Amino acid sequence: MTGPEPLAQPVELPAPWRDCALTVVVPTYNEVGNVPRLVERLLALPLPGLRILIADDNSPDGTGEVADKLAARHPDRVIAVHRAGKEGLGRAYVDGMTRALDGGADFVAQMDADLSHPPEALPGLLGTLLSTRAGAVIGSRYVPGGQLDENWPLYRRALSGWANFYVHTLLNVRIRDLTAGFKVWRADTLRAIDLNRVQSNGYSFQVEMHYLATRLGHTIIEVPIRFEERTVGASKMTTRTKIESAVMPFRLRWKHRGLS
What's residue 173's pLDDT?
Answer: 82
What's residue 99's pLDDT?
Answer: 97
pLDDT(19) > 80: yes
Phi, psi (rounded to 5 degrees) for 130: -70, -25
What's residue 65's pLDDT?
Answer: 98
β-strand partners of 259: none
Mean pLDDT score, 201-215: 87
Mean pLDDT of all residues in the chain?
A: 86
Q: How confident is the model at residue 1 (pLDDT cuts 50, 70, 90)?
A: very low
What's residue 171's pLDDT?
Answer: 75
Mean pLDDT score, 189-214: 89
For the chain, which domains are there? Answer: 17-255 (3.90.550.10)
Range with the lowest mean pLDDT among 18-27, 52-61, 197-206, 211-220?
A: 197-206
What's residue 108's pLDDT?
Answer: 98
State how far the alpha carbon of 59 is from the alpha carbons of 44, 55, 86, in Å.
26, 10, 8
What's residue 44's pLDDT?
Answer: 96
pLDDT(162) > 50: yes
Mean pLDDT score, 18-26: 97
Q: pLDDT tens digits, residue range 25-84?
A: 999 999 999 999 999 999 999 999 999 999 999 999 999 999 999 999 999 999 999 998
